[in-house]
Amino acid sequence: MGEMKLNDRIGQDLSCGGASKEPKRGLEMSARHKEKTPTAIKVIAVIFIIVYWWTIIGIIAGIFLWMGKNWARIIAVIMCGLSSVLGFLLVAGLGVSNISGIINVTMNLAIIYYLLFNSKVDRYFGRM
């Protein structure tokens, strides 16, 4: 007569004393995650991904530069070239006139010159 089915009893135990009219906490959080992601967060995520892969490529190129691989020298020259162009645009175009930007551009250009025009480097990479 007053017997409850097992499923009813489990449901009653999980609801802690009966059914509640308040919305479930899990449903609120899932609705919050359905909101549109702000553009700033997307931009930061893209910048993070680019910087991450730029760093990984730089480390790999550095290791293989040490081993004398000519393709790593080409990648290093390209990376230094892109860095110097971006640095120059920041210093000259956007009016960021700090000494560190100028030093960055100068060092990148010096590395490019060394990797391309030094005869010892050419011999090391087997070009002469």
pLDDT tens for 34-45 read 678 888 999 999
- Rounded CA separation 80/110 (Å): 9
Lowest-confidence segment of 25-34, 78-87, 98-107 by average pLDDT? 25-34
Q: Mean per-residue pLDDT for 88-99?
A: 74
Instruction: Please provide residue 6's backbone torsions phi and psi, each rounded to the nearest 5 degrees.
Output: -60, -40
Does residue 5 sit within a domain? Answer: no
- Rounded CA separation 58/106 (Å): 18
Q: Mean per-residue pLDDT for 56-84?
A: 95
Residue 128 · residue 119 · CB < 8 Å: yes
Does residue 89 sit within a domain? Answer: yes
Number of compact structural domains in the chain: 1
Q: Mean per-residue pLDDT for 92-103?
A: 74
Does residue 31 sit within a domain? Answer: no
Does residue 23 sit within a domain? Answer: no
- Rounded CA separation 107/63 (Å): 20
Residue 103: domain span: 39-124
